[in-house]
Amino acid sequence: MRKFVNDPKQFVPEMLKGLALANPETLTYVPQYNLIMRKDAPSDRKVSIIQGSGSGHEPAHVMAVGRGMLDAACPGDVFSAPPVDYITETTKLMRSEKGVLYLVNNYTGDRLAFEMAAELSMAEGIEVETLIINDDVAVSDSTYTVGRRGVAGNFFVIKAIGAASEQGADIEQLLAIGKRVVDVTRTMGIALSSCTPPAKGVPLFSIAEDEMEVGIGIHGEPGRRRAKRGTADEIVTLLLDAVVEDLPYKNGDRVALMINGLGGTPISELYLLFGRAHEQLKKRGIAVGRSYVGEYCTSLEMAGASLTLVRLDDEIEALLEADAEVPIRVF
């Protein structure tokens, strides 16, 4: 296991502790509920935005806590939904007169946990609404889901809702904005390697060096098919065919294009993919209005990448453009 780890069972708490130590002015780590929260949240002037899901997808979602993004995150262990009581404690801490909004990626375990937490929280008089994110076009159902999975497109939902919540939108408006973003966001990914959960110690699946898993899930769950690895151009064509034709995105559309690394692929390769995708989109008459290249939703140290498109309009673009502050310091 080629990892920096102490006790594998303490992998997530030790990561969160490091995250809080690196951001002492903006973030608080609450060890007893394994949660990360903004130091200045909650506020009765804004809806509190919460996300929780399995760990192992960093920076999603614990490193997306900050002004204009999430107010708190309650991660589970690697690839496991958070416990219901941790979600309810997070909800209590984030209680706001304007309500609490859960952003839940569509995985069965996460949905069940957040449904129960919503009921328990509402019984205590907290207004709670839930938005489901399901941008992955690869499979219609999967080993982890009924319906499509939520993957890297999650970032755009957090960003848009985070911005609107800072501007004072109420919970119904945020739900509407979130649904509008989900409706125009589509993703598909490719894996070139497996990944190894720290507490498991062995790779989740095996894949030959010249193969790729087309439509990989972010927990290593199967996609559409196993194939011989193609060139970067062939892979971009394959991803764009699946993503563009799904909505579909059309000639004349203006989009945000994200090339997201799955954890083990260097940023040089992501920019190479981005360039080819940009060119291919142009040939399809689709203009790239906003560019995102890097890691947003990973699968531990998996080699691979996903491609996300968001159809832009003035409202969505303004929300994506709004100022925000996240723990990831670049310079």
Applying CB under 8 A, which residues contact a second copy? 1-6, 11, 14-19, 21-23, 55-56, 58-59, 63-64, 68-69, 155, 159, 192-193, 209, 229, 231-233, 235, 263-276, 278-279, 288, 291-295, 298, 300-301, 303, 305, 324, 326, 328-331
278 catalytically annotated: no
Residue of 57, 111, 148, 149 marked catalytic: 57
Pairing between β-strand 304-311 and β-strand 72-73 as defined by DSSP bridges? unpaired
Which residue, 118 or 309, is less far from a second copy as judged by CB? 309
Contacts of 78 (CB under 8 A, 6+ apart): 11, 12, 54, 55, 56, 197, 198, 199, 300
Which residue, 145 or 193, is less far from a second copy as judged by CB? 193
- Smallest CA-to-CA distance from 299 within 116, 100, 57 is with 57
Are residues 320 and 257 in contact, defined by beta-carbon separation less than 8 angstroms? no
Which residue, 84 or 328, is less far from a second copy as judged by CB? 328
- Beta carbon of residue 157, minimum distance to a second copy (angstroms, whole number): 13
- Beta carbon of residue 113, minimum distance to a second copy (angstroms, whole number): 21
Query: Tokens 């999650």 — which residue?
Result: 154
- Smallest CA-to-CA distance from 90 within 53, 59, 56, 141 is with 53
Alpha helices (H) in the chain, listed in sequence order: 11-22, 84-93, 108-123, 154-166, 171-183, 232-246, 267-283, 314-321
Which residue, 147 or 275, is less far from a second copy as judged by CB? 275
- Smallest CA-to-CA distance from 82 within 7, 5, 16 is with 16
- Beta carbon of residue 133, minimum distance to a second copy (angstroms, whole number): 17
- State the number of CA atoms in the 13 A half-sphere of 142 facing the CB: 25
Residue of 111, 219, 276, 311 marked catalytic: 219
Which residue, 95 or 229, is less far from a second copy as judged by CB? 229
Residues facing 74 on adjacent strands: none
Give the helix, strand, coil percentages of the chain, each rounded to 5.
Answer: 35, 20, 45
- Beta carbon of residue 17, minimum distance to a second copy (angstroms, whole number): 4
The string of DSSP letters for 136-182 reads B-S-SSBTTBSSPPP-TTHHHHHHHHHHHHHTT--HHHHHHHHHHHH
Which residue, 247 or 324, is less far from a second copy as judged by CB? 324
219 catalytically annotated: yes
- Beta carbon of residue 212, minimum distance to a second copy (angstroms, whole number): 9
Active site amino acids: 57, 219
